[in-house]
Amino acid sequence: PAAPPTSAAEVLARRGRVLAEVQEHYYAEPPQVERGWREHLADVDGRVYLDVVNNVTSVGHAHPRIEQAAHRQLRLLNTNSRFHYAAVAEFAEKIAATLPDELDTVFLVNSGSEAVDLALRIAMAATGRRHVVAMREAYHGWTFASDAVSTSIADNPNALATRPDWVHTVDAANSYRGRHRGEDAHRYAPEAVATIRDLASRVDLAGFVAETYFGNAGGVALPPGYLREVYAAVREAGGLAVADEVQVGYGRLGHWFWGFQQQGVVPDVVAVAKSVGNGFPLGAVVTRREVADRYRTQGYFFSSTGGSPLSSVVGSTVLDVIADERLQENAAVVGGHLEQRLTGLAGKHELIGAVHGDGLYLGVEFVRDRGTLEPATAETAAICDRLLELGVVVQPTGDHQNVLKVKPPLCIARESVDFFVDALDRVLVEGW
Ligand code: PMP
């Protein structure tokens, strides 16, 4: 057996030897993190960092209520989801209660990839059709179907050329960069509708899948009315509207618990994960009863640990904490303050082309030129490295990797937000 690790660098080397190369980590020289508390992380040398990137640990690191609930449940019982116990019914009821009444039927899984995969298979089974329309610049997961609709070239330059024949795409409806900007962004919806109608005349359309808020592509809201028009066209063509809420749902947007509420629509199938388990592997798909019932005609579903006693207790506790600590409200208030302060920075530093987002899902987009919007990709990476030295963990996102994805735990304090903005200001003043 290997000797006990002696340094962060040595552990990193061991990691590199034993894990697949694609299983990446943040930073070329990452700190070896050992502890977390609320929005803070501590490394093995006792250095403390502010975690501004963590939308998985949404209610905060090492939350005592989750630790206690999981501990208690592990001592009592944990087994596969085919047994009969109360926790699974309680958790599924709680998730369904956060959604519009018609979305009343829950499938419990273990990750976002599984949730999106199952959501697509449900759409295919319910319609008896196969073809799916996805938005470009999207990431939806690594499993067969969720990967098929992942169109972002950030991590896979061949993404668009290698999608299966049942996947079709529409433009990334980005109102900041892309073909239609600002006021012109209303053009994306009719174009997508035209594509959907054209496809529907040639292939059997099962549905449309997209993040309901343009998350991975930079934290940009979809243009007003976009999903209303696109969902209508998909339904007119006999397909279902599938919403990926893995990143943007669960209170993060502050004013809305779910991203689709920002668009004023109700999807047919909702996929969610990440925040659902606060880092514990948990995901869910929620749909209408008659849609769920059609799944059995074509698919088999059983998840050993999806909705296990332990998963269910963790999931229920996360929802209780979000409610009891009023974390959605915190996302609105502290997120509003953060957005204001970042917008202030944009007035001072030319490199900040725009501040996108809502609540605690924000994107700080760096450009070399505010006219051409040339992405400041290398600068964004260097800024992240310098911010790490100053004690802030934050990462780039988007096809150009030039947007800081700002999505901290929802419990983040105003002081922490100020610390982050002051650190970013300092980097932009001093250089990186
Ligand atoms: N959908 C979206 C929008 C995501 O951001 C991710 C993860 N980054 C996934 C799906 C896949 O989730 P998971 O990593 O839990 O499989």
Residue nearest to ligand 1 atom 13, measured at CA? 112
Average pLDDT over residues 34-38: 97
Distance, CA 148 to ligand 1 centroid (Å)? 13
Residue nearest to ligand 1 atom 1, measured at CA? 140
In the chain, CATH 3.40.640.10 covers 64-324
Residue nearest to ligand 1 atom 12, measured at CA? 112
Q: Which of 22-26, 303-307, 330-334 is predicted with the least confidence, judged by mean pLDDT?
A: 22-26
How would residue 231 be classed by pLDDT, with cut points 50, 70 and 90? very high
How would residue 4 be classed by pLDDT, with cut points 50, 70 and 90? low
Atom of ligand 1 nearest to the CA of 215: 3
Distance, CA 113 to ligand 1 centroid (Å)? 6
**What is the predicted pLDDT for the residue at 282?**
98
Atom of ligand 1 nearest to the CA of 248: 3
Distance, CA 142 to ligand 1 centroid (Å)? 8
As a whole-number percent, the residues of the chain with pLDDT over 70 amount to 99
Average pLDDT over residues 368-395: 98
**What is the predicted pLDDT for the residue at 155?**
82
Atom of ligand 1 nearest to the CA of 211: 3
**What is the predicted pLDDT for the residue at 299?**
81
In the chain, CATH 3.90.1150.10 covers 8-59+326-430
Atom of ligand 1 nearest to the CA of 142: 16
Pairing of strands 269-272, 283-287: antiparallel
Return the structure tokens found at 55.
């939308």
Q: Which of 94-98, 299-303, 314-318 is predicted with the least confidence, judged by mean pLDDT?
A: 299-303
Indicate the CATH number for domain 64-324. Answer: 3.40.640.10
Q: Is the pLDDT of residue 6 over 80?
A: no
3-state secondary structure of 51: strand
Q: What is the DSSP string of 241-290?
A: EEEE-TTTTTTTTSS-SSHHHHTT---SEEEE-GGGGTTSS-EEEEE-HH
Return the structure tokens found at 291.
């849609």
The CA–CA distances, whole Å, from 8 to 13, 48, 101, 175, 387 equal 9, 15, 50, 42, 19
d(CA 47, CA 57): 20
The interface predicted TM-score of the complex, written ipTM, equals: 0.99
Give residue ranges with CB within 6 A of ligand 1.
Answer: 111-113, 116, 139-141, 211, 215-216, 244, 246-247, 273-274
Residue nearest to ligand 1 atom 2, measured at CA? 140
The CA–CA distances, whole Å, from 243 to 23, 131, 164 equal 26, 16, 20
Average pLDDT over residues 372-388: 98
| Averaged pLDDT of the chain | 96
Q: Is the pLDDT of residue 237 over 70?
A: yes
Q: Is the pLDDT of residue 269 over 80?
A: yes
Over the stretch 165-209, which tens digit does the pLDDT of each residue have?
Answer: 999 999 999 999 999 999 999 999 999 999 999 999 999 999 999
Q: Contact at 8 Å (CB) between 384 and 404?
A: yes
Indicate the CATH number for domain 8-59+326-430. Answer: 3.90.1150.10
Q: Is the pLDDT of residue 218 over 90?
A: no
